[in-house]
Structure 1
Amino acid sequence: MTGPASTHAHPHTHAHPRTDPPEDTAALVHGEPLARARVDAFLKTVPSRDRETRPEALARAERQRRRWATQVVVADELARRACFTRGLRVPEKVSPSRLLTASEADVADLGSIVAAVLAHSPAARALLDRFEDEQEIPEAAVRDYYDRNRDRFLTPEALRRGVDPFDEPTPADVLPYERAREGIQRELRRAAAHRTFFAWLDQARTHVIYTPGHEHPGDPTHPDHEHRH
């Protein structure tokens, strides 16, 4: 899984007044402690990819990796609560000993924190599926996408002949709208669901207070902050 080195930016958490959380707590989620042990367990599933050799640089990278992991675990907890509130059934949680991976494409599109959340958290995936079910994509939007992206809908025969998709392919070289429509609608619904998920997570995290060493990697209140996720 790609760790905190991904550069894709996403909504950051907001600053909160500090309280005195219980010992061995990574964060307070709606006032309830989230155990540091859950962050430790998740970190074991994500081997470090940092190649730093200088002790100071390696220590900084590990501090940031812990902050990144805390974000993933907190999002999992928030998703569990959201699923409970919505009456969604959540599959059994994956064993923390299992190595979970997110594709490079997902990391590029979603950012490493959200990509990791969706790989790690059955609750987050269930919530995303619910958001997708709630999306309504207008027919005009589907048609507009088809008209603006004809290069994506070349027929297999056109691809075999090496037709240049950017050189005005003939209508016979392009899948008809009726055959492309379902796939486009599915893609647009998923993209809209991701946007809804980002908005939900940004709002849900406003009720989280992090303990020192577990802040968001981009939180400017800690000295190691950076905007890389």
Structure 2
Amino acid sequence: MTPEHAALIDGEPLPTERVDAFLDTPPRGAGLNQCAAPPRGATSHDDAAPARRQTEPPSVARQRRRWATQVIVTDELARRACADRGLRVPEELSPASALAVAETDVADLGSIVAAALAHSPAARTLLAALEAEQTVPEAAVQDYYGRNQDRFLTPDALRRGVTPFDGATPEDVLPYDSVRERITRELRQAAGRQAFFGWLDQARSKVVYSHGHEHPGDPSHPDHEHRH
């Protein structure tokens, strides 16, 4: 028998219908629903997403539902966090909107977070707010520039096959001032993502899941799978 709610968040039920609507989202083109899936499902920040299949073993279907529950729980937690912060969330997308998540986002963020950000305007709003809060010290920007000279070679140096390890001159590297803003932006984005991960881990630590909706990596159920 399917439970009426997928989880309890601060004692309030999260309807199973929201998970069902997400699972019923039709795949379109390349992206999250098209990427290769492990036999049982995604559980960590680094795992690939469980792909939709017309026929699948019951264990895969169960893991896919657990994975989808995590996406919907993230959406609900983000909505509440935005409300607490007074953040305006854009109009919700239709549940039928097809998700298309770049493979690089799945690799960088993990399938659950990547799907939540694609699905949830609230999650994207919260991530943007957390990113805007990050302060990147000048020393960190300079340190990154100094340690990653290979990323800042001039086009001419790249054409000549020059690398920082085989005789590159200062003229072969883009000036610090020309790349400082780009480095700052990238470091701020990375710090914002780490803040989002930290918020999410803390926010969902008190969520109570119904049977069949546990985290895919929860060792208390027989189909769990948790890889790093």
| Same-fold status (TM-score > 0.5) | yes
Q: Is the 8 A contact 2:6 2:16 kept in 1?
A: yes
What is residue 27 of structure 1 aligned with on the other side?
A: 7
Q: Is the 8 A contact 2:106 2:114 kept in 1?
A: yes
In structure 1, how many angstroms separate the alpha carbons of the residues matched to 2:19 and 2:86? 26
Q: What residue identity is the alignment partner of 2:179?
A: A
Measure how far apart 1:50 and its partner are.
Answer: 5.4
The two structures, once aligned, show a CA RMSD in angstroms of: 2.1
Where 1:27 maps in the other structure, the secondary structure is strand
**Greater relative contact order (CA < 8 Å, ≥ 6 in sequence):** 1
In structure 1, how many angstroms separate the alpha carbons of the residues matched to 2:117 and 2:17? 20
Structure 1 position 146 matched with structure 2 position 145: yes
What is residue 197 of structure 1 aligned with on the other side?
A: 196
Q: What residue identity is the alignment partner of 1:32?
A: E
Q: Is the 8 A contact 2:131 2:188 kept in 1?
A: yes
In structure 1, how many angstroms separate the alpha carbons of the residues matched to 2:26 and 2:177? 43
What is residue 207 of structure 1 aligned with on the other side?
A: 206
Measure how far apart 1:24 and its partner are.
Answer: 1.6
What is residue 83 of structure 1 aligned with on the other side?
A: 82
Where 2:57 maps in the other structure, the secondary structure is helix
Output the TM-score relative to the length of structure 1: 0.84
What is residue 179 of structure 1 aligned with on the other side?
A: 178
Q: Is the 8 A contact 2:141 2:180 kept in 1?
A: yes
Structure 1 residues 30 and 181 mapped into 2: Cα distance closer, same or farther (>3 Å)? same
Structure 1 residues 68 and 168 mapped into 2: Cα distance closer, same or farther (>3 Å)? farther
Measure how far apart 1:46 and its partner are.
Answer: 6.0
Structure 1 residues 138 and 217 mapped into 2: Cα distance closer, same or farther (>3 Å)? same
Q: How does 1:8-23 map to 2 (within 5 A)?
A: 23=3
Q: How does 1:69-108 map to 2 (within 5 A)?
A: 69-108=68-107
Q: Is the 8 A contact 2:3 2:210 kept in 1?
A: no
Q: Is the 8 A contact 2:24 2:96 kept in 1?
A: yes
Measure how far apart 1:98 and its partner are.
Answer: 1.4
In structure 1, how many angstroms separate the alpha carbons of the residues matched to 2:123 and 2:164? 37
Using the TM superposition, name which of 84-93 and 37-46 deviates more: 37-46
Measure how far apart 1:99 and its partner are.
Answer: 1.1
Counting matched residue pairs gives: 206
In structure 2, how many angstroms separate the alpha carbons of the residues matched to 1:51 and 1:86? 37
Q: Is the 8 A contact 1:217 1:228 kept in 2?
A: no
Q: Is the 8 A contact 2:3 2:211 kept in 1?
A: no
Measure how far apart 1:78 and its partner are.
Answer: 0.2
Structure 1 residues 50 and 58 mapped into 2: Cα distance closer, same or farther (>3 Å)? farther
Q: Structure 1: where are the runs of 5+ without partners?
A: 1-21
Structure 1 position 45 matched with structure 2 position 44: no
Measure how far apart 1:222 and its partner are.
Answer: 0.7
In structure 1, how many angstroms separate the alpha carbons of the residues matched to 2:14 and 2:26? 19
Q: Is the 8 A contact 1:67 1:213 kept in 2?
A: yes
Q: Structure 2: where are the runs of 5+ without partners?
A: 28-32, 40-52
